[in-house]
Every structure is written in structure tokens, then in C-alpha cells.
Amino acid sequence: MQQDSLHNIAEQKRKTVNTPEFTEDGRYMRKVRSFVLRTGRLSEAQKRAMNDNWAFFGLEHQQQPFDFAKIFGNTHPVILEIGFGMGQSLVTMAKQNPQYNYLGIEVHTPGVGACIATALEQKVNNLRVICHDAIEILQDNISDNSLAGLQLFFPDPWQKAKHHKRRIVQTPFIELIMQKLTPNGFIHMATDWENYAEHMLEVLRSQSNLSNTSITNDFIPRPDSRPLTKFEQRGQRLGHGVWDLYFIKNQ
């Protein structure tokens, strides 16, 4: 990427992002166009964090798999988080677990900028971020058997029944994740929508090569490894439930 382009990366990402489209049975369709993402404007701090540090923290969609050893400068296991929001919990996990490398995908550009700014503040360097459609990144840029884990926390619930097919957690998505996970790799999901939690559980249980770590074969208490977010703390005060699922890929 040219140097002058790096100086405008925040605005470029804000304006043009690919959106996933799915068939009626949840199969991913390759997109034929981009669209203007209607997000909040980036603050000056978020914009500066992206523009000044994208060369280190940012990864772009490409036509071949990522070389994680080259990107991170080591061979530590890689954990992917899809939809990291403002990135605070992702940065916290990366800081607390230097023995892992973290890769975060988020299409909301203010969140990407905030995540990079927090990583700089916390002096975290075992983290890279992508501002692109997650399905396309998984298909094109993540090698099979290369991820130690997948994290998906509070994805869009698409609460209306007619929109349930837009939920990212569908059988084809989990089948794709399974290809990318190493043996003993994990899938950790969390949602505050009980209906979505039940749907996630059904989809994950349908995979014969996945084992549920829950002693009751459904959900687990929030593990200490997943930081409590401000969003979640607010929900707890309002009496909202949160459901965590943690499955392991069999050897």
C-alpha cells in the first residue's frame, strides 16, 4: 500500500466496506459490489491511530493466505475474534496472554481506530486488526488448521424472526471455522439474546467433531479469560442474562 494511501486509510475504510450476503439456507454468496457503511464518524484520535499505525496493526484482504509467522514474528498460536466492537476486551486478552497472537476483524471503523489506540496505550504488539468482511477473510486468507481458537462475542442478534437467516452463526459458517481450527482448537461464543444462544447451541451441537465443555451440555459460566465489558456490566445491572458457549474441536 502506498504511503499516501496509509495517511487516508481511516477514511477509506469508513467509506467502503464489503457486506456479507447469504442465501436462504445460510450459504455465503460472494459479493459483486461494495457499499457505503453508515457508521459514526471517527474521532480525531481514532483516525490518527489508524492512519499512523496501520502499517503495523492493519492487515488487508489479499489473494493468498496470511503468513502468521512473518506477520507476528513468531510461531505462537493465533486466536481470531470476529466483531470486536471497540476492542477493549480484545486488547486486554492480548495483553494478558502474550503466549498467543490475536487477530481481530471488525467492519465498524471507529471500533478499529479505538482498538488500535488502546493497543498503543497498553503497549500490546501481539495483535493485528482487519477491517473487512470476516467470511471473505476466512475463505481467502486463513489457512486450514491454522487457528487455535475463534471468539465471537455479542454478534448482531437480528432479533426479528424474518431476519434470523442473517445471523452469522449458521452451519456453513461453523463448517468453515472447523476447517480453519487446529485439533483441540476452541470456539467461544457469547450472546445476551437467549433465542440466539439456543440457536448457537443447536448449530454447534450438530457438528460431530466438536465437543461441548459444559458439564450440563449447554452453556458455561463466563470464564475469567473473557473480560467483562461495559456493555455487559450495564446489562447485568438491568438483569439481562448472558450465555457463553465453549466447544473444542476433536483431534
Binding-site entries for S-adenosyl-L-methionine? 81, 106, 133, 156
Question: How many helices (H) does the chain have, and how many strands (E)?
Answer: 10, 10
**Pairing state between β 181-191 and 147-153:** parallel
**Nearest one of 231, 181, 169 to 206, comparing CA atoms:** 169
The three-class DSSP label of residue 188 is strand
Please name every residue paired with 58 in a beta bridge, in sequence order, or none if there are none.
129
CB–CB of 65/103 below 8 Å? Answer: no
- In eight-state DSSP terms, residue 42 is P
Kindly state the helix (H) or strand (E) to which residue 166 belongs, with its residue range: none
Find the catalytic residue in 25, 67, 140, 156: 156
With contact defined as beta carbons under 8 Å apart, do 197 and 245 qualify? yes
Helices of type H across 28-170: 44-57, 68-72, 88-96, 109-121, 134-141
Nearest CA to 171 among 42, 65, 23, 36?
23
Is position 140 annotated as part of the catalytic site?
no
Asked if residues 106 and 85 have their Cβ atoms less than 8 Å apart, the reply is yes
**Cα three-residue angle 68-247-179, rounded to 5 degrees:** 45
Residue-wise burial string across 145-181, b where 16 or more C-beta atoms lie within 10 A, e elsewhere: ebbbbbbbbbbebeeeeeeeeebbbbeebbebbbebb
Instruction: Tell me the catalytic residues.
Output: 156
